[in-house]
Chain A
Amino acid sequence: MGHLTPLQRVFLAVALVVIVAPFLWILMNSFKYQIAIYQGSWVFEPTLSNYTDVLFSRRSRFSDNLWNSVVVAVTSTTIVLVLGTLAAYSLNRFPWAPWVSRGLMAWLVVFHMVPVLTLVGPWYLIFRHFGLYDTLTGLVLTHVTLNLPMAIWLMLAFVREVPREMEEAAEIDGCSRIQTFGYVVLPVIVPGLIATGVLSFIFSWNEFAVALNLTSRATATVPVGVAKFAQEYEIQHAQMAAASILATIPAILIMFFGQKFVVRGLTLGSVK
């Protein structure tokens, strides 16, 4: 649809540079010794020692952190997407009493406003009681809870835009409610599903406060691992930069393949 005006081209180019430059700068720092970072030098002797330190030093256990993050983020995102889309569809398409639909939406958004700091204590007690402290299951449950409000609200905005005539036509053709949802609605809201999925994934991937409190060394996730480089008496910027880069790459790959999976899975069966 259309093409870019020269002004839009300039804007897009400048925006891309500003957005990407700090990231490239972090990438550059990940190959520096700390002293070169301190001095802000542009000419330096590159080293891989930060990466080897992050990946292989005993203190770090970064590969475990990465694996835990993959498990937690992928599982919680899948659950959030399924529950969120179903709930949004139900809320939008069925004549729920206003106190149910509006009440639930209001509760979700107010819950999202609660500072996470105050949730952590009660959750620790709940999970300790049910034996879910220090398990990835417990962490997945909390991430589902944290990300579901936004997912339901977002999916509601996308579901609302699906023309009702399409569904009515499908029902006249004899489709059941489940079939209408699966073959008519889902393919149309794929862009929304992808955006919601990507955001839930990223929020889970970078969530720190809950992960810190509900895990220990073996179950800790990436943000907890990265935070170890911000110590009380020194910040190990070089290792932190390397860890940030290492954390970003799998996230991009997972999101890339996750999108392919969603697009293929949902548009193959489309009746469009």
Chain B
Amino acid sequence: MQLKSALAAAALGAVLWTATPAPAPAASFVEVGKQAPITILINASPWYAGFEKAVDLYSQQTGNKVDLDVTPYGGMLEKARNAVRGGTSPYDLLNLDGGWTIEFYEGGFLKPLNDIDAGFTVPKELLSCGNTHYWNAAKRFRTPDGGKLMGVPPNCNVHILAYRKDLYDKAGLSAPKTYDDVLAACQKIQSPPNMYGFVARGERGNSIRYDFSTFMIGHGGEIVANPQEGDFTVTVNSPQVLAALNQFITLMKTCGPGNYGSIGQADMIQLMASGKAAAVQAVIAAWSNFEDKTKSAVVGKVAAAPVPAAVAGKKPGVVIGNWSFAVPKNTSDDKAKAAIAFLKWFMSPEAQRAYAEAGGIPVRVDTLKSDLASKPQFSWMPAYLDSVEASVASLGYAEAAAVEAAFGLRLNQALIGEMSPAKALNTAAGEIEAIFAKSGRKTGKLAPLPE
């Protein structure tokens, strides 16, 4: 109760603060002192507006200068690589997508945060976000168990199920708990080509690999046996993964539009926002598209539910796709300290609240559970929290991009019927095993599925 009112006071302070530009220090934020100016590499994204407001607030409160190099998503990795590979880095904080982190950790391109400030810790309220911001060099794995703190997640991006509450209510359906519920609901609601019951991404590559993983993990399947302990036996052609793939294909073909084999992120958002889809499996970052009148014909009609379970009674399979803020190795000490100061401030409850209110996706449990969650525009918060707490990190090895390319192709071929699901998984298993063998891992594969 007391916490809540303190938070409310803080919020009020934040609101008053943004309304009045007077440079008085706000006592409720973390005090970080005078710091060197820093430059952050960040991409244009749905939560960018929130981040920009938070940075403005930081500069106003502390007088510390923060420059943002806003870069297209397609150019982020290139610029981050350039920055750490030659001379002094032009950036002091890099915003790294989850899939890129291993390359930077393993290559020794970053300063572990405790090497900059031995006393730095992340607050216990911070979401674990799959722990992709820790690196255990001996195990070559991202884990806090023996790992160093390499960064701080600005957001944890996970799937949710966005569904049309109005249509579900009218049909007398409640939020789907399993993919079988989704299938039943879709068959009841859909009338193609005017209304598709369920849409997920089937486009070759990252799209299908990422959207299929909720099915795969929900069935208890995995790509590799135990990468954390160095066992890279490929398990992608297990009966569990086959069952998941069959379930995925059935849903995609029964409930989706005819171009299910080429649906990407933008197509899926387009279908939902224009009112042609009754449910989509979307990442939380896409949510804002449905609640903006200039982008959506279904404002106020969409509800968020946690990712459905693939098998009734089992845990849903949620895969994390978060970003990390990290400090490049080749930046000066005072700038590295200034970067840490900013991260401390950014993770404070007050800053997280301001970040959320301006459109960001907060990373603190207490912010997600605060009074914000009861406001209509934050109605996604409970479902998001459920999903994120069930989530796991995937592809936690250096060969991730190559594995994803191989797996993403074979999945897509199974979906469009160029290969039987069993053959696709056997083929993928052989290719993934070859990838690990080339890089010298201890690998192997399961006996092939009958084709």
Chain A interface residues (CB < 8 Å from chain B)? 33-35, 38-39, 49, 58-59, 120-121, 124-125, 128-129, 133-134, 212-213, 216-217, 224, 227-235
In-complex Cβ contact of B72 among A33, A120, A227 (8 A): A227
Separation of A234 and B43 alpha carbons in the complex (Å): 12
Contact bitstring B76-91, A, C-beta under 8 A = 1, else 0:
0011001001110010
Cβ–Cβ < 8 Å partners of B44 in chain A: 59, 228-229, 231
Chain A: which residue is nearest B284 at the CB level? A233
Residues of B279-303 at the interface with A, using a CB-CB cut-off of 8 Å, are 283, 285-286, 289, 293-297
Separation of A212 and B69 alpha carbons in the complex (Å): 11
Stretch in B181-189, B266-274, B351-359 with 4+ CB within 8 Å of A: B266-274
Stretch in B16-24, B45-53, B224-232, B342-350 with 4+ CB within 8 Å of A: B45-53
Whether a CB of chain A sits under 8 angstroms from the CB of B193 is no
Q: Report the minimal beta-carbon distance from A228 to chain B, rounded to whole angstroms.
A: 4
- Show 15 A/B contacts (Cβ-Cβ < 8 Å), sorted by A: A33-B294, A34-B273, A59-B49, A59-B52, A121-B85, A124-B82, A124-B86, A128-B86, A212-B72, A217-B70, A224-B71, A227-B74, A231-B43, A233-B45, A235-B266
Q: Known pairs A216-B90, A233-B45; list 5 more (Cβ under 8 Å).
A: A35-B274, A35-B295, A49-B294, A228-B71, A233-B285
- With an 8 Å Cβ cutoff, the count of chain B residues facing the other chain is 39
In-complex Cβ contact of B75 among A212, A229, A234 (8 A): A212
Chain B interface residues (CB < 8 Å from chain A)? 43-46, 48-49, 52, 67-75, 78-79, 82, 85-87, 90, 97, 265-266, 269-270, 273-274, 283, 285-286, 289, 293-297
With A216-B69, A227-B72 as contacts: A232 and B45 at CB distance below 8 Å: yes
Separation of A124 and B289 alpha carbons in the complex (Å): 37
The reply to whether A231 and B294 contact each other, CB–CB distance below 8 Å, is: no
In-complex Cβ contact of B273 among A38, A129, A216, A228 (8 A): A38
The reply to whether A230 and B73 contact each other, CB–CB distance below 8 Å, is: yes
Separation of A120 and B85 alpha carbons in the complex (Å): 13
The reply to whether A34 and B75 contact each other, CB–CB distance below 8 Å, is: no
Cβ–Cβ < 8 Å partners of B48 in chain A: 59
Chain A: which residue is nearest B88 at the CB level? A128
In-complex Cβ contact of A133 among B74, B90, B266 (8 A): B90
Cβ–Cβ < 8 Å partners of A212 in chain B: 71-72, 75, 78-79
Q: Report the minimal beta-carbon distance from B218 to chain A, rounded to whole angstroms.
A: 23
6 tightest A-B CB contacts, nearest first: A227-B72, A228-B44, A232-B73, A33-B294, A233-B285, A34-B295
The reply to whether B297 and A35 contact each other, CB–CB distance below 8 Å, is: yes
Q: Report the minimal beta-carbon distance from B60 to chain A, rounded to whole angstroms.
A: 15
Separation of A59 and B68 alpha carbons in the complex (Å): 9
Chain B: which residue is nearest A120 at the CB level? B78
The reply to whether B69 and A217 contact each other, CB–CB distance below 8 Å, is: yes
Cβ–Cβ < 8 Å partners of B294 in chain A: 33-35, 49
With A35-B297, A233-B265, A235-B266 as contacts: A228 and B72 at CB distance below 8 Å: yes
Chain B: which residue is nearest A217 at the CB level? B69
Number of A-B pairs whose CB atoms are under 8 Å? Answer: 94
Chain A: which residue is nearest B298 at the CB level? A35
The reply to whether B296 and A35 contact each other, CB–CB distance below 8 Å, is: yes
Separation of A35 and B67 alpha carbons in the complex (Å): 33
Separation of A216 and B73 alpha carbons in the complex (Å): 14
The reply to whether A234 and B78 contact each other, CB–CB distance below 8 Å, is: no
The reply to whether B274 and A38 contact each other, CB–CB distance below 8 Å, is: yes
Separation of A231 and B294 alpha carbons in the complex (Å): 17
Cβ–Cβ < 8 Å partners of A39 in chain B: 274, 297
The reply to whether A233 and B79 contact each other, CB–CB distance below 8 Å, is: no
Cβ–Cβ < 8 Å partners of B43 in chain A: 231-232
The reply to whether B90 and A121 contact each other, CB–CB distance below 8 Å, is: no
The reply to whether B82 and A213 contact each other, CB–CB distance below 8 Å, is: yes
Q: Report the minimal beta-carbon distance from A222 to chain B, rounded to whole angstroms.
A: 12
Cβ–Cβ < 8 Å partners of A228 in chain B: 44, 70-72
Q: Report the minimal beta-carbon distance from A170 to chain B, rounded to whole angstroms.
A: 52
Q: Report the minimal beta-carbon distance from B162 to chain A, rounded to whole angstroms.
A: 13
Separation of A251 and B265 alpha carbons in the complex (Å): 32
The reply to whether B68 and A33 contact each other, CB–CB distance below 8 Å, is: no
Q: Report the minimal beta-carbon distance from B268 to chain A, rounded to whole angstroms.
A: 10
The reply to whether B68 and A233 contact each other, CB–CB distance below 8 Å, is: no
Cβ–Cβ < 8 Å partners of B270 in chain A: 38
Cβ–Cβ < 8 Å partners of A229 in chain B: 44
Cβ–Cβ < 8 Å partners of B45 in chain A: 231-233
Separation of A53 and B201 alpha carbons in the complex (Å): 30
Chain B: which residue is nearest A129 at the CB level? B87
Separation of A234 and B289 alpha carbons in the complex (Å): 8
Q: Report the minimal beta-carbon distance from B418 to chain A, rounded to whole angstroms.
A: 28
Separation of A39 and B274 alpha carbons in the complex (Å): 6
The reply to whether B75 and A224 contact each other, CB–CB distance below 8 Å, is: yes
Cβ–Cβ < 8 Å partners of B70 in chain A: 59, 217, 228
Separation of A234 and B293 alpha carbons in the complex (Å): 15
Cβ–Cβ < 8 Å partners of B86 in chain A: 124-125, 128-129
Q: Report the minimal beta-carbon distance from A36 to chain B, rounded to whole angstroms.
A: 9
The reply to whether A128 and B52 contact each other, CB–CB distance below 8 Å, is: no
Chain A: which residue is nearest B82 at the CB level? A124
Q: Report the minimal beta-carbon distance from B156 to chain A, rounded to whole angstroms.
A: 14
* Listed residue (A39, A120, A231, A233) with the most chain B CB atoms within 10 angstroms of its CB: A233
Cβ–Cβ < 8 Å partners of B49 in chain A: 59
Cβ–Cβ < 8 Å partners of A38 in chain B: 270, 273-274, 295
Cβ–Cβ < 8 Å partners of A217 in chain B: 67-70
Chain A: which residue is nearest B299 at the CB level? A35
The reply to whether A234 and B269 contact each other, CB–CB distance below 8 Å, is: yes
Separation of A230 and B78 alpha carbons in the complex (Å): 16
Q: Report the minimal beta-carbon distance from A158 to chain B, rounded to whole angstroms.
A: 37
Separation of A158 and B286 alpha carbons in the complex (Å): 53
Separation of A229 and B97 alpha carbons in the complex (Å): 18
Q: Report the minimal beta-carbon distance from A123 to chain B, rounded to whole angstroms.
A: 10
The reply to whether B73 and A231 contact each other, CB–CB distance below 8 Å, is: yes
Separation of A33 and B294 alpha carbons in the complex (Å): 5
The reply to whether A233 and B286 contact each other, CB–CB distance below 8 Å, is: yes
Cβ–Cβ < 8 Å partners of B97 in chain A: 232
Separation of A134 and B49 alpha carbons in the complex (Å): 25
Cβ–Cβ < 8 Å partners of A34 in chain B: 273, 294-295
* Listed residue (A58, A124, A230, A232) with the most chain B CB atoms within 10 angstroms of its CB: A232
Cβ–Cβ < 8 Å partners of B69 in chain A: 216-217
Chain B: which residue is nearest A126 at the CB level? B86
